[in-house]
Chain A
């Protein structure tokens, strides 16, 4: 992939806008070991929305060069850097094996795009990362989303949990008791979560928090009560909480109804990425985007349909503290 001109800090600032809560601030960096809710503005957590109206070149394809540019702008804004590599080096360090947790359950129609993963791999490698593992639940899911399974070798590998299996010791928090994917526990030093932006017929929405169901052996047990508190409890499991450093939501195409299966009639080109270290803030914002689209399309709210994603608030409560769902504490940076 050819490297394009990277947007400068000035470009980012010029493009920065507000959504929902307004206020643009690209100040202090969100460094590698900072807590998830770190922000440029004291007391606030940052969520970056990076979009390009011309991202999609045909019905289901994206312009890879534009996508890389969208990613770069997002990362620079997220980490308050003038170059994307500088930004990535604030997230990962050379020598680490970095996992890219994709979401492929819906197949190629609405899974994390291969082009996005390619772009991230390119930047990670330029930032000095040699070992990258693209992973999700099953090899079959990955293949259905156009990823090529590569289980061995060095460099970029790609495989499902069925390759390494699960740990044999149960890990618990609250209502959750699960065996963890060995890909997460043994193969990866750090994880970048790459969910998609979509509706979920049981849990309301599935974005950053719920996507980590792909790291456990028994996600089918955690859809009761709109996934509340299970989604939050699962994210509290130490291997997840400790290793996931960043969330880059693939919102190139988003789905506002009929999920998690791919239903093309209910998708729309959002043409963007949503990036945050705070999965709660990201999910809250993503949920609002989906609700806004539902309203535009004359559909009932998720609350009216009894599938309001209350697990997002649970993830923010005093027991979980995975981030914030308070709009007054979320700084949305649009680039």
Chain B
């Protein structure tokens, strides 16, 4: 599950002048048009729908990288498996790509609606530079429409419906470095839909010594995915369920392309982790957990971290209760029994299953409480107690 794009205990909203803001300064600044990107953490509801954005459309508009031109000025988008056929003057399902006279444009390059400095654990990425910060950004838009979306107020809108801030790649990279962030995280909404921006920002970050991580639903075509793998350093995939039915009815997408994405990530050697948001009554069956765990084991391997996260009622699923802890523990037990080495329970602060355990000696090698890392006992990628290799990207 994507972290909620709101102010959490350790996440700090960003001033695009480059300064982290304390809460008071932030609230004051949020009233200014130039800083309207954030409020309540990210976006000020009172501002978001109150009028047109102050910024020029042109500075956010670049030609899309993956599409086909069709007769009569139509286009077919080739970025995600939905492959929208879009008429002139219309937009794709994502709402952020528009056909203008037979040329398809992204409208969200450098158009940031959410920016925070977050712990990388909030993404969550547990095996990627633990204890570091991620400069986290999002634009409006998404290529699915999950009924349980926690960030629907930015993911399910069009870019002009929110106040945004112009943040070109070099500026993001500089701010990430300035804020001592080890990585830039493309997150909150769905970074696939701001693909061009992400592809330009990742190398800008690398020039500053800042890595890039992608927090995505994984609903992307193979060609752009492979190019993405060459540009970024880690990808976390929200696997919404292990059934096509759920994807069709709750996500408005498809499972198969997401599984293909996960397999490609493995083949490309991309560090990846999986989050599975457990939604009561909809994707919480034992058979589904078992099928998922078996598929991960057979198609991805034992070392891919799998996070079972607690659902909180949001958006169009407010009628459901939060996931019972027992359900999450049952899911973990099933995945453990299949032999998966790194199975976590998420959104339950303080639970022992937030820690990373050495698969050999079973001692805690990364100790966590919520988004806080209190100890890392991994040296050169190995358990400091028994020298068992621990899969991940651990830094120096």
Q: Say whether, besides A170-B315, A201-B87, A258-B72, A217 and B157 are in contact (CB < 8 Å).
A: yes
CB of B92 within 8 A of CB of A220, answer: yes
- Do A221 and B89 touch (CB < 8 A)? no
Q: Which residue of A lies closest to B94 (CB)?
A: A220
Q: Which A residues are in CB contact (< 8 Å) with B48?
A: 168
Whole-angstrom distance between the alpha carbons of A12 and B378 in the complex?
Answer: 88
CA distance A260 to B90 in the complex (A): 9
* Max chain B C-beta neighbours (<10 A), residue from A105, A165, A182, A220: A220
Q: Is the CB of B45 within 8 A of A201?
A: no
Given known contacts A162-B51, A165-B161, A220-B94, is B316 in contact with A177 (CB within 8 Å)? yes
Once the chains are docked, how many angstroms separate the CA of A166 from the CA of B316?
18
With a CB–CB cut-off of 8 A, which chain A residues contact B91? 220
Chain B residues with CB below 8 A from A263, complex form: 72
Quick check: is B49 within 8 A (CB to CB) of the other chain?
A: yes
Tell me how many residues of A have a C-beta within 8 Å of chain B: 28
A168:B49 contact, CB within 8 angstroms: yes
**A221, B87: Cβ atoms under 8 Å?**
no
Contact A261 B73 (CB under 8 A): yes
Interface of A is mostly: loop
Q: How far is the CA of A167 from the CA of B50 in the complex (A)?
A: 8
B-side interface size class: 20 to 34
Known: A177-B315, A261-B90, A263-B72. Is A221-B156 also a contact (CB below 8 A)? yes
Are A168 and B46 touching (Cβ within 8 A)? yes
CB-CB under 8 A from B160, the residues of chain A are 162
Give B271-323 interface residues, CB cut-off 8 Å to A. Answer: 315-316
CA distance A134 to B152 in the complex (A): 30
The A248-284 residues at the B interface (CB cut-off 8 A) are 258-261, 263
Q: Chain A's nearest CB lies how many Å from the CB of B102?
A: 10
Contact of B93 among A107, A217, A220 (CB under 8 A): A220
Query: CB-nearest residue of chain A relative to B141?
Result: A220
Complex CA distance for A261 and B91, rounded to whole angstroms: 12
A182 to B92 CA separation, bound complex (whole angstroms):
24
Q: Report if B260 contacts A (CB, 8 A).
A: no
Check A261–B72 contact: CB distance below 8 A: yes
**Chain A residues closer than 8 Å to B95, beta-carbon distance:** 218, 220-221
Contact with B along A155-197 (1 / 0, CB 8 A): 0000000111111101010000101001000000000000000
- At the interface, yes or no: A15 with Cβ under 8 Å from chain B? no
Q: How far is the CB of A108 from chain B (nearest CB, A)?
A: 12
In the bound assembly, the distance between CA atoms of A106 and B157 in angstroms comes to 22
Q: Does A241 contact B (CB under 8 A)?
A: no
* Assembly CA distance A207 to B8 (angstroms): 46
B87: chain A residues within 8 A (beta carbon):
201, 259-261
A53 contacts the other chain (Cβ, under 8 Å)?
A: no
With both chains docked as a complex, state the minimum distance between the C-beta of A319 and any C-beta of chain B, in angstroms: 17
From A260, which residue of chain B is reached at the shortest CB distance?
Answer: B87
For residue A182, give the distance in angstroms from its CB to the closest CB of chain B: 8
State the CA gap A164–B152 with chains docked (Å): 21
Give A315 to B145 CA distance when docked, in angstroms.
22
B321 CB, nearest partner CB in chain A, Å = 19
The interface residues of chain A lying within 8 Å CB-to-CB of B74 are 201, 261
The yes or no answer to A224 lying at the interface (CB within 8 A) is yes
Complex alpha-carbon distance, A166 and B156, angstroms? 13
Taking A172-B316, A179-B49, A261-B73 as contacts, is the C-beta distance between A224 and B252 under 8 angstroms?
Answer: yes
Q: Nearest residue in B to A178 (C-beta to C-beta)?
A: B156
Contacts of A306 in B (CB 8 A): none
Bound CA–CA A107/B87 (angstroms): 13
Interface flag for A223 (CB, 8 Å) = yes
Please give the distance in Å from A214's CB to the nearest CB on chain B. Answer: 13
What per-residue 1/0 map shows which CB atoms of B14-58 lie under 8 Å from chain A?
Answer: 000000000000000000000000000000011011111000000
Chain B residues within an 8 Å CB radius of A170 = 152, 315-316
CB of B159, distance to nearest CB on chain A (Å): 12
Q: Mark B150-193, 1 if CB is under 8 A from A, else 0.
A: 00100011101100000000000000000000000000000000
What's the minimum C-beta distance from B76 to chain A, rounded to whole angstroms?
12
Contact string, B139-155, partner A, CB cutoff 8 A, digits 1/0?
A: 00000010100001000
Chain B residues with Cβ below 8 Å from A259 are: 87
Smallest CB gap from B153: residue in A: A168
Contact of B89 among A106, A163, A223, A224 (CB under 8 A): A106
Asked whether any CB of chain A lies closer than 8 Å to the CB of B133, the reply is: no
- Asked if B88 is an interface residue, CB under 8 A from chain A, the answer is yes
Q: Establish whether residues A221 and B252, one from each chain, have CB atoms under 8 Å apart when the complex forms.
A: yes
Please measure, in the bound complex, the distance between the C-alpha atom of A186 and the C-alpha atom of B135, giving whole angstroms. Answer: 39
Docked complex: A51-102 residues within 8 A CB-CB of B: none
For A181, give the chain B residue with the smallest CB separation: B49
Q: Chain B 86-111 against A: per-residue CB contact (8 Å), 1 yes, 0 no?
A: 01111111110000000000000000
Which residues on A sit within 8 Å (CB–CB) of B73? Answer: 261
Interchain CA distance A74-B23 in the complex, whole Å = 61
B85 beta carbon closer than 8 Å to chain A: yes
Within 8 A of A (CB), among B51-82: 51-52, 72-74
14 new A-B contacts, CB < 8 A, other than A162-B160, A172-B316, are A163-B51, A163-B52, A168-B46, A168-B48, A179-B49, A201-B87, A220-B93, A220-B95, A221-B145, A224-B93, A224-B252, A261-B73, A261-B87, A263-B72
Q: List 30 A-B contacts (CB under 8 A).
A: A105-B89, A105-B90, A106-B89, A162-B52, A162-B160, A165-B49, A165-B50, A166-B49, A166-B161, A168-B45, A168-B46, A168-B49, A170-B152, A177-B316, A179-B49, A182-B49, A201-B85, A202-B85, A218-B156, A218-B157, A218-B158, A220-B91, A220-B95, A220-B158, A221-B252, A224-B252, A261-B74, A261-B87, A261-B90, A263-B72
State the A residues within 8 Å of B (CB): 105-107, 162-168, 170, 172, 177, 179, 182, 201-202, 217-218, 220-221, 223-224, 258-261, 263
User: 10 closest pairs, A vs B, by CB?
Assistant: A165-B49, A166-B49, A261-B87, A220-B95, A168-B45, A261-B88, A177-B316, A162-B52, A221-B145, A165-B50
